[in-house]
């Protein structure tokens, strides 16, 4: 994809991969809008990086998604790139009753949100120059880590969905890209760590961004980054060995 001169909406830009993409795309001369639920974070980011536009929005809420689209049309009608990045990752013990609110939270955020938002934006994007939808999935789309079963299922679903979305939009000029990160050291899943500042593990964010930007510039439509390439290649054939690590 062209990496300059776009107007880009990134869901979930208050930390981690979304924030790093926002900073990188601003450096490349794009107008960047980020969303998230945490208003304090959004305000702090806007003060630190005045080039970033912020908008509080909950991707798990259908009315908020519709309001976001109306706001973008009214304020940033040149928006031509949607990055469906917001996500949550929850561990679940399936040998005990699971709280259905946690299941809904994960599915609404990681699957329902990007599916609905992509469909709301598609008619608008189809009339823009160089329109792109990027769905951030995961290497775990191909190989589930069993302790976070619903998270992995949402990512596998988003991988499948992206194939269908790309097919349905093939007669428009919208490029549909799947970007599958490996384990990256962000705040993801931090609710299961006693010390919230503790590292998530994974590769440093700048290393991920460098490789991801290269893949986007190359025009890869299914960009598995770093270790995610291996997970895509080996997938469920290494399920037992992979899950024995946790």
Ligand X SMILES: NC(=O)c1ccc[n+]([C@@H]2O[C@H](COP(=O)([O-])OP(=O)(O)OC[C@H]3O[C@@H](n4cnc5c(N)ncnc54)[C@H](OP(=O)(O)O)[C@@H]3O)[C@@H](O)[C@H]2O)c1
Q: Does 60 bind ligand X (CB under 6 A)?
A: yes
Instruction: Name the burial class of residue 79, with classes exposed (0-12), middle (13-18) and buried (19+) by CB atoms within 10 angstroms of its CB.
Output: buried
Residue 201: count other Cβ atoms within 10 Å of its Cβ: 9
Nearer to ligand X, 85 or 128 (CB): 85
Task: Determine which one of 21, 142, 151, 161 is catalytic.
Answer: 151
Q: Residue 215 CB, nearest distance to ligand X (Å)?
A: 14
Binding flag, residue 193, ligand X (CB under 6 A): no
Please report whether residue 215 would count as binding ligand X according to CB under 6 A. Answer: no
Contact between 35 and ligand X per CB under 6 A: yes
234 binds ligand X (CB under 6 A): no
- List Cβ neighbours of 20 (8 Å cut-off, separation of 6 or more): 205, 206, 208, 209
Per CB under 6 A, the list member of 72, 132, 145, 188 interacting with ligand X is 188
DSSP calls for 8-36: EEESS-SSHHHHHHHHHHHHTT-EEEEEE
Residue 134 as a binder of ligand X (CB under 6 A): the answer is no
Query: Any catalytic annotation for residue 151?
Result: yes
Tokens of 238: 């290494």
Task: Using CA atoms of 214, 219, 221, 227 in order, give the dihedral in degrees to the nearest 10.
Answer: -20
- Where do contacts with ligand X occur on this chain (CB under 6 A)? 11-18, 35-38, 41, 58-60, 85-89, 109, 136, 138, 181, 183-184, 186-188, 202
Would you please indicate which residues are annotated as catalytic (active-site) residues? 151
């Amino acid at each position: 994809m062209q990496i300059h001169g776009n107007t880009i909406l990134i869901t979930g830009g208050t930390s981690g991969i979304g924030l790093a993409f926002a900073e990188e795309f601003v450096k490349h001369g794009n107008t960047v809008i980020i969303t998230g639920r945490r208003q304090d974070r959004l305000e702090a980011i806007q003060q630190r990086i005045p080039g970033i536009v912020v908008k509080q929005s909950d991707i798990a809420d259908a009315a908020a998604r519709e309001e976001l689209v109306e706001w973008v049309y009214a304020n940033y009608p040149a928006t031509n790139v949607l990055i469906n990045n917001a996500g949550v990752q929850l561990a679940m013990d399936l040998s005990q009753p699971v709280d259905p609110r946690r299941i809904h939270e994960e599915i609404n955020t990681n699957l329902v949100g990007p599916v609905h938002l992509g469909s709301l934006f598609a008619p608008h994007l189809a009339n823009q120059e160089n329109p792109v939808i990027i769905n951030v999935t995961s290497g775990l789309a191909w190989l589930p880590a069993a302790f976070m079963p619903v998270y992995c299922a949402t990512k596998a679903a988003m991988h499948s969905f992206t194939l269908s979305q790309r097919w349905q939009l093939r007669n428009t000029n919208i490029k549909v890209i799947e970007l599958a990160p490996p384990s990256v050291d962000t705040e993801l899943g931090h609710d299961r760590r006693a010390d919230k500042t503790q590292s998530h593990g994974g590769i440093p964010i700048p290393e991920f961004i460098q490789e991801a930007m290269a893949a986007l510039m190359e025009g890869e439509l299914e960009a598995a980054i770093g270790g995610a390439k291996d997970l895509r290649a080996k997938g469920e054939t290494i399920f037992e060995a992979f899950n024995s690590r946790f």
